[in-house]
Structure 1
């Protein structure tokens, strides 16, 4: 859906929530009246009217008609645009007080821990390795587990926080390792695309980024969901955590 970035940037917090729902559920909104949408997203109908106007449409019906016309095979350029728009909406959500409170809570857990352990497989494994280097460079003692068969032995290391990275939140090897961490007494922070997953539900604190999943057209199992939100979360957590460490020292 080719909305103009300069128009999207004018949206306030409530309008951004509505816009986020629209781009994630284009088929669902085709059956919705403006009152249905207002009830679904918990805003007023006037908020939706302002959203439509800011995006250059005459009203809700005009916006729905435009979105209906977008149901076709997307070019790679349009798909790339949608991915960047998704990331922009994530940044807006991340800057809300509610999301910042969750990041602060996670950062305090890491700051109090003697060690932070990162775990992930595939792309998440590469991000875990990157996070470990980044956290160590920040001044936080960290290490990574990238082998799903490596035994979990953290008893005797003091207080340990395990940061579990998983896009799907349902990979069996990751869930099993998370259970091992819990059995060893580690605190768990999960970073997943969706909070309604096994990995997130097992965690002491879950952080999600809620993007539309993207898959490769040539390789059906190729998950191409952008991991830019994960990088942002990890880097922000490292800076927040070391700030808490400094404050307590």
Structure 2
């Protein structure tokens, strides 16, 4: 896993001092080559041993190993990963903003792809494809993606149960059977009702798949399998857009994998799309 992605993904589990080191590296990755462990420690007002221990906790032999790995990642990116790439004519804010959004979306998609190991994604595809019923749940903005993905699963001929109301979804737990799958959409994975719903679903023999940000959270920690989304930007508005974009790309890929995993699903999709087209035309 790329070093900056690893730091981001583990940040929420770090101590206060470790988070200070992590934030400095993430914000100044392109400058890290100029810092020794002592200089980094002095800049943050911490001990040099804290920097060394931080590096080793991430799986590196020491700080030089971490610095080299970050330097390689920055070199591959071609520039400061936090900066917007130049685009268009000087002073052309319209073109620059458009290019920054495009570049940031591509970076979020790439990080999300790396963060979801092929074996993990294929296991989730197998769980969903073999499930007698697939329950899909999300609240707020997450509910919009949950509803759209539930519709796609229905087009593949899957028996899908979708609710945006926690009480209605809880009532449907009586229909859960061993082998059923619950897809829970939650950006931050910290809502207590989602955790309660997931635990009860598991108690009835079902499997839970969480879809959250690539961060430590209760929902992801207790799920049977997890899909994670990487979307980072200093501007909150941009970070939210990147999350939605990367999430949609991840769901699109999952849908394509489901189509190819089972020829009968692919055939059923064609039948259902033809029925819908006929309904619209008439």
Note whether the superposition's TM-score is higher than 0.5: yes
8 Å CA contact 1:169–1:198 kept in 2: the answer is: yes
Pairing 1:211–2:231 present: yes
Structure 2 counterpart of 1:39, from 65, 69, 86: 65
Structure 2 counterpart of 1:228, from 230, 237, 245: 245
Distance in 1, matches of 2:70 and 2:199, equals 43
Cα displacement (A) at 1:105? 1.3
Distance in 2, matches of 1:167 and 1:80, equals 25
- C-alpha deviations, 1:53-91, integer Å up to 9, x for none? x44xxxxxxx69x96xxxxxxx89867755543321233
The structure in which a higher percent of residues are helix is 2
Distance in 1, matches of 2:95 and 2:204, equals 47
Corresponding residue of 2:212:
192
8 Å CA contact 2:177–2:206 kept in 1: the answer is: no
SS in 1 for 2:208: strand
- C-alpha deviations, 1:23-80, integer Å up to 9, x for none? 98543537733687873377385x358447x44xxxxxxx69x96xxxxxxx898677
8 Å CA contact 1:139–1:242 kept in 2: the answer is: no
Cα displacement (A) at 1:247? 8.1
Deviates more, 1:97-106 or 1:165-174: 97-106
Q: Highest Rg: 1 or 2?
A: 2
Structure-2 change in CA distance of 1:94 and 1:114 (3 Å): same
- C-alpha deviations, 1:114-146, integer Å up to 9, x for none? 111111100111111101111111332222121
RMSD: 4.0
Corresponding residue of 1:239:
256
| TM score, norm. by length of structure 2 | 0.60
Corresponding residue of 1:11:
none
Pairing 1:110–2:136 present: no
Cα displacement (A) at 1:161? 0.5
8 Å CA contact 1:20–1:89 kept in 2: the answer is: no
8 Å CA contact 1:215–1:225 kept in 2: the answer is: no
Corresponding residue of 2:27:
27
Distance in 1, matches of 2:95 and 2:212, equals 26
Distance in 2, matches of 1:167 and 1:104, equals 22
Structure 2 counterpart of 1:174, from 194, 208, 220: 194
Structure-2 change in CA distance of 1:44 and 1:87 (3 Å): closer
- C-alpha deviations, 1:210-244, integer Å up to 9, x for none? 21265359xxxx96553122222222222322432
Structure 1 counterpart of 2:117, from 88, 99, 103: 99
- C-alpha deviations, 1:167-186, integer Å up to 9, x for none? 11112222222222222221
Structure-2 change in CA distance of 1:170 and 1:89 (3 Å): same
